[in-house]
Homo-oligomer: A and B are copies of this chain.
Amino acid sequence: MRPSAKKIASLLSQKGYKLTAQRRAVIDVVVNSHEHLAPAALYERVRRTHPAIGLVTVYRTLEMLHELGLICRVHRGEKHGYTLAPSGHHHHLVCTECGTVADFTGCDLEALQQRLSQQTGFKIEGHLLQFLGYCRDCQGGT
């Protein structure tokens, strides 16, 4: 269940963040787009309703939302894509042809993580998992 802009906003002020027009604008765009958009693309959309906003602010807001676990990030080479975090922990399947992203849950890495902790002595705090391939539409072509 996707959180609403209202819910996110109240969570922010609860955490002591100021509720600025810019933050609301970024949150609105994130909530209303279902793709994993890059900061620049989100910036473009935010500017439609809030032309004076700075790209920096978009970056800062995304960073903040990401730290709070409210949005998720997909890795595409140098670029990042952000979208609302669906329901908690999840990962991505990325089409290397068209860029489509599909979310999935149930990565089931606990056993592996435990083994690695023992073998290496690392205290593991998180992981990055992403599958790459061709989405249904991009198979069969060149």
Contact = CB atoms under 8 A, between A and B. Distances in A.
- What is the count of identical protomers in the complex? 2
A102 interface: yes
A31 to B, nearest CB: 24
A113 interface: yes
A128 B131 CA distance: 6
11 contacts: A75-B128, A95-B122, A102-B120, A121-B135, A122-B131, A122-B134, A125-B133, A125-B134, A128-B128, A128-B131, A129-B130
A42 to B, nearest CB: 18
A135 B107 CA distance: 23
Contact of A96 (B75, B108, B125): B125
Interface string A112-142: 1100100111111111111111111001000
A104 interface: yes
Contacts of A134: 122-123, 125
Nearest to A112: B108
B130 A102 contact: no
B104 A123 contact: no
